[in-house]
């Protein structure tokens, strides 16, 4: 560990003692000295390093655990982890790219499939179409990078179904570069209301492989209906978020 950094932090006399430990570890994470999966120094080592008590050290580490920068594994120690991304699509109707940009993250999309097909029976009622009608299916992996990150794992697998008659030329767009909602709006199609259902599930083999998680890992499964100005269904989607990489906020007012 950087001794100069320790001395600089120790010299900041106005800083609460537990902040010194907290900021030291956080700086090591942000400058990539400590990376995801690395074991940090023990409470005893940090106590000696900063000449402060172990309970004070623990207070600083607890803050980083609660913020998602560290995780404790019983009998093994405390390890660097990656903070979960706070997803706010339970509060707003907004494109994925816009939401990630507002968080200071760089969005990226990989299109797995975009195709025209006959609507399966299970989706007929969900999309408000007739049996035998055509639909467009768009399946994508979504990523979000920090400015210094070069490699990352997907944070979302999403499949969107759109009635073909609503948007027959949709398949012509490049959705690795374009946002679906932005394309909608360019063509005067606006999502005015969304209904979303959230379930806790375990990942299956196919999903686990795509999201680079262990089979049987916890996931958030969100089914979503997007309605146009006339109340008709514009889109139905099914999205899978790895539990280890995402958390959600729901705002309730009275």
How do the pLDDT tens digits run along the chain, 254 residues long?
A: 555 454 554 445 567 888 888 888 888 887 878 887 888 888 898 899 888 899 888 888 888 887 778 888 888 888 888 777 777 666 667 777 888 787 778 889 999 999 999 999 999 999 999 999 999 999 999 998 875 554 578 999 999 999 999 999 999 999 999 999 999 999 999 999 999 999 999 999 999 999 999 999 999 999 999 999 999 999 999 999 998 888 787 777 77
Query: How many angstroms separate the CA atoms of 19 and 71, rounded?
Result: 18
Tokens 């979503």 belong to 224
3-80: CATH architecture: Orthogonal Bundle (1.10)
Superfamily (CATH H level) for 85-248: Chorismate lyase-like (3.40.1410.10)
3-class SS of residue 231: coil
pTM of the model: 0.72
Q: Could you tell me where in the chain the CATH 3.40.1410.10 domains are found?
A: 85-248
Contact 149, 85 (CB under 8 A): no
Residue-level length of the chain = 254
């Amino acid at each position: 560990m950087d001794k100069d950094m320790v001395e600089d932090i120790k010299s900041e006399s106005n800083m609460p003692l537990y902040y010194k430990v907290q900021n030291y570890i956080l700086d090591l994470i942000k400058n990539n000295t400590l990376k995801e999966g690395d074991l940090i120094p023990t409470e005893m080592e940090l106590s000696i390093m900063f000449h402060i008590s172990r309970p004070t050290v623990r207070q600083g580490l607890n803050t980083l655990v609660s913020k998602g920068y560290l995780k404790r594994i019983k009998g093994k120690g405390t390890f660097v982890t990656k903070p979960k991304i706070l997803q706010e699509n339970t509060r707003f109707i907004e494109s994925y790219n816009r939401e990630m940009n507002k968080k200071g993250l760089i969005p990226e999309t990989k299109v797995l499939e975009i195709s025209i097909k006959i609507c399966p029976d299970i989706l007929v009622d969900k999309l408000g179409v007739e049996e035998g009608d055509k639909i467009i299916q768009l399946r994508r992996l979504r990523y979000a990078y920090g400015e210094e990150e070069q490699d990352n794992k997907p944070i979302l697998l999403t499949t969107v179904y759109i009635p073909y008659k609503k948007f027959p030329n949709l398949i012509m767009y490049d959705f690795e570069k374009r946002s679906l909602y932005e394309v909608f709006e360019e063509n005067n199609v606006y999502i005015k209301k969304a209904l979303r259902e959230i379930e806790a599930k375990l990942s299956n083999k196919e999903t686990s492989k795509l999201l680079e998680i262990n089979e049987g890992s916890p996931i958030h499964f969100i089914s979503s209906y997007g309605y146009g100005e006339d109340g008709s269904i514009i889109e139905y989607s099914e999205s899978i978020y790895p539990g280890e990489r995402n958390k959600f906020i729901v705002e309730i007012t009275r």
